[in-house]
Structure 1
Amino acid sequence: MTHRTALGTALALALSIPAYAQAQDLLAFEYSGFENPDFHQPYIAEHGTSPEFVFFGDEDEAFQRLLAGFRSDVTQICAGSVPRWQGSGIIEPWDRAQIAAYDTLSSDLLGEDVRSGATELWWVPANFGSTAVAYNAEQVPAEDVASLSIFTNPAYAGRLSIPDNVDDAYALAYLATGVTNWADVTDEQFEAATAWLRSIHPNLLTYWVDPGEIQQLMASGQVLAAWVWNEVPVALAGEGFPVGFNRNTTEGSSVWLCGYVNMADGPGAEDLAYDYINAMHSEASAQPLLDNGFGTANTAALESLGAEQLEAAGLGSATVPLLAQLPISDEQRARQAEAFERIKAGF
């Protein structure tokens, strides 16, 4: 997941870091929007206030700022970034015993090896969502979005969009070329996915940057079909737009996963970091998260919401393969990122 922030804003935040770090007991480095108090009401109830929040535009920016000396207590990142952060030495493992919902965290998101205690807990999943094809249900026949080949269909040239995000782009490309697990792709599979992404480049109107942008492009009729996060069709439906969302394309769809890392040498009290994570996992937070397009990683809290609500939010059951955007090696992510940048530049 990628968001953007103005350089001036980033500089202003950077300059204000010492004041933040000294004034607050817990500093959360977050995606914008996660300061929503409804997401961590148990923390507020216990401590009388929210943590202090500082926001980043994307995870590469967050990583560089932390390497440069910014200190936070917890940082939200998505699963694909974990190996690089772990290797950098800027994070430390979580203590399983202090994660209240640990036993009911989804093993699909956490990983069975971590669940068994075979490895240290470097990252705690907090929320997840699906990525699939959203489309204008009045102008695009359902049969045209039954397959990911919609993106290669010349009839929709210039009316399509995918995220400006290497993980989402390659999840789509691997699915389209027959790969449903990207944990250990071969050179041939990587080349096939890259060639597919290059082949659809001329068909795309744009690579969308944030949900608001693609919602506007679809609402205006400029984009008829797009590879999007599940929060997008939920928002469009709420505005009365005739949106369809097909998670069951023949080739499959994707699931993205985000959560928290425990920053080494954070300025705040360590126990507050656990209080924040436990608040995010609480049943009280599950409904507000879902209302904003996020599924909680706590299966017990998620199941309390009921299948109908999950389906309406684009998080219901799927009948096709799901590619989980779990951590991949630094080398694989780097070569995907390099290829993606070249494709976007027209090469």
Structure 2
Amino acid sequence: MSSTATVAQATDTLTVFDWSGYEDPELHPAYTEKYGEPDFAFFGDEEEAFQKLRSGFKADLAHPCSQSVVKWRDAGLLEPLDPSKLKNWEEILPGLKSMKDLMTSADGTAWLIPFDWGNTLLTYRTDKVKAEDVQSLKAFADPQFKDRVTIGDNVDDAYALASLAIGLKDWTAMTDDQFKQASDFLRQVHKNVRFYWTDNTQINQAMAAGEVDLAWAWNDTATSLKNDGVPVDVNKDTDEGLSTWVCGYVRLKGAEGSEEKAYDFLNAVTDPAVSKYMIESWGYGHSNAKGMAAIDEATLKSSGYDNVEKFTGNTLFQSPMPSEIRQKMIAEFEKIKAGY
């Protein structure tokens, strides 16, 4: 095969660097219909993804969340988006578009197109746990749940839990004393942790099998398990609140795949036809305002997406934080998981 043919073949592919589970064809049906499935590579959390990309891993698109976009951009990992090639750009929910530094930088350059948004929240087995025992996030450190707890192997979700537990809803302003309080709380939680989950399949199987009773999990866990008839519920009204996040897709600098396919994929995941499936099967909100508006009120209400203001109220939003705070969290979380 000639070198020209080899290059042509390489640039005709598309590699998406993503969270496990998002390879679900129903999340990008228009792309699948046109091309078949893209190649997927997976990461467990955004720090892992960041380090892998900095080490030279090549992909065309990636799926970071709100707290990481600025860091990835400033590290030179991102290629600006061309809104003229994003057919659903004008349909993105206004509340997501207006979030500082999430989609665009001060000069108006677009870096991310939002896709999914939701919560990390207290999730529990209703047949084994009394609702009154999980009214506070401090339940994660309650000795009665020893070896019955799981939280994500994810520094952002872990410190979102810890920040809320100590009464802090803006982690960008975390003081040294608050960092110590949050870390001490996670050390208490660690005593109860059966395992740190790394993907939705792992946590869903563990809760379904009765291996764990209490989880700090994304909306998908309760949605999927309820659809399967497992007795689980979430508490969105704990004393301390819950965490809210927004994630989306970015183009990666140095991408070697097809630019046309990259934009076709971005248009497919933000298509309004995806909105209802995302809510019903994943429990997440979709970024397309037109698609969300077309969903029947009963479906929206059952998932909590009928009132966005209430949905995002009493939450810690996982916004970009100063790099020095994040680096402290990363280092400390590794110690905590190791039992130190």
TM-score norm. by structure 1 comes to 0.84
Q: Show the counterpart of 1:294.
A: 284
Match of 1:72 among 39, 42, 59: 59
Q: Show the counterpart of 1:131.
A: 120
Deviations 1:72-123 (A, max 9, x none): 2222222222233212222122133433333332344344445787343222
- What letter matches 1:140 in structure 2? V
Q: Show the counterpart of 1:328.
A: 321
Deviations 1:255-311 (A, max 9, x none): 222211112232234343222212211111222323233321123312322343234
1:162 aligns with 2:151: yes
- What letter matches 2:298 in structure 1? E
- What letter matches 1:209 in structure 2? T
Secondary structure of the equivalent of 1:256?
strand
1:310 aligns with 2:300: yes
* Structure 1 segment 237-316 matched on structure 2, within 5 A: 237-290=226-279, 291-313=281-303, 315=305
After TM superposition, the structure 1 stretch with the greater mean CA deviation from structure 2, 55-64 or 166-175, is: 55-64
Secondary structure of the equivalent of 1:34?
coil
Note if contact 2:104-2:112 (Cα within 8 Å) is conserved in structure 1: no
Please give the alpha-carbon distance, in whole angstroms, between the structure 2 residues aligned to 1:153 and 1:20.
Answer: 58
Note if contact 1:234-1:312 (Cα within 8 Å) is conserved in structure 2: no
Give the direction of change, closer, same or farther, for the CA distance of 1:217–1:272 in structure 2 (3 Å limit): closer
Deviations 1:150-175 (A, max 9, x none): 11322222222211111111111111
Please give the alpha-carbon distance, in whole angstroms, between the structure 1 residues aligned to 2:143 and 2:97.
Answer: 40
Give the direction of change, closer, same or farther, for the CA distance of 1:274–1:258 in structure 2 (3 Å limit): same
RMSD: 2.7
Please give the alpha-carbon distance, in whole angstroms, between the structure 2 residues aligned to 1:61 and 1:344.
Answer: 16
- What letter matches 2:293 in structure 1? E
Q: Show the counterpart of 1:196.
A: 185
* Structure 1 segment 35-74 matched on structure 2, within 5 A: 35-45=23-33, 48-50=34-36, 52-58=38-44, 59-74=46-61
After TM superposition, the structure 1 stretch with the greater mean CA deviation from structure 2, 66-75 or 185-194, is: 66-75
Note if contact 1:245-1:314 (Cα within 8 Å) is conserved in structure 2: no
After TM superposition, the structure 1 stretch with the greater mean CA deviation from structure 2, 129-138 or 287-296, is: 287-296
Q: Show the counterpart of 2:81.
A: 94
Deviation at 1:345, TM superposition (A): 0.9
Q: Show the counterpart of 1:118.
A: 106
Secondary structure of the equivalent of 1:189?
helix
Note if contact 2:12-2:258 (Cα within 8 Å) is conserved in structure 1: no
Note if contact 1:21-1:71 (Cα within 8 Å) is conserved in structure 2: no
Note if contact 2:20-2:199 (Cα within 8 Å) is conserved in structure 1: no
Deviation at 1:25, TM superposition (A): 4.4
Note if contact 1:28-1:72 (Cα within 8 Å) is conserved in structure 2: yes
Give the direction of change, closer, same or farther, for the CA distance of 1:78–1:208 in structure 2 (3 Å limit): same
Please give the alpha-carbon distance, in whole angstroms, between the structure 1 residues aligned to 2:22 and 2:222.
Answer: 20
Q: Show the counterpart of 1:9.
A: none
Please give the alpha-carbon distance, in whole angstroms, between the structure 2 residues aligned to 1:134 and 1:210.
Answer: 15
Note if contact 1:37-1:50 (Cα within 8 Å) is conserved in structure 2: no
Please give the alpha-carbon distance, in whole angstroms, between the structure 2 residues aligned to 1:67 and 1:98.
Answer: 27
Please give the alpha-carbon distance, in whole angstroms, between the structure 2 residues aligned to 1:263 and 1:252.
Answer: 34
* Structure 1 segment 177-256 matched on structure 2, within 5 A: 177-256=166-245
1:22 aligns with 2:15: no
Please give the alpha-carbon distance, in whole angstroms, between the structure 2 residues aligned to 1:304 and 1:250.
Answer: 33
Note if contact 1:231-1:313 (Cα within 8 Å) is conserved in structure 2: no
Report the identity percentage: 36
- What letter matches 1:322 in structure 2? T
After TM superposition, the structure 1 stretch with the greater mean CA deviation from structure 2, 278-287 or 209-218, is: 209-218
Paired residues in the alignment total 328
Name structure 2 gaps, 5 residues minimum: 1-5
Deviation at 1:177, TM superposition (A): 0.9
TM-score norm. by structure 2 comes to 0.86
After TM superposition, the structure 1 stretch with the greater mean CA deviation from structure 2, 69-78 or 113-122, is: 113-122
1:337 aligns with 2:336: no
Deviation at 1:231, TM superposition (A): 0.8
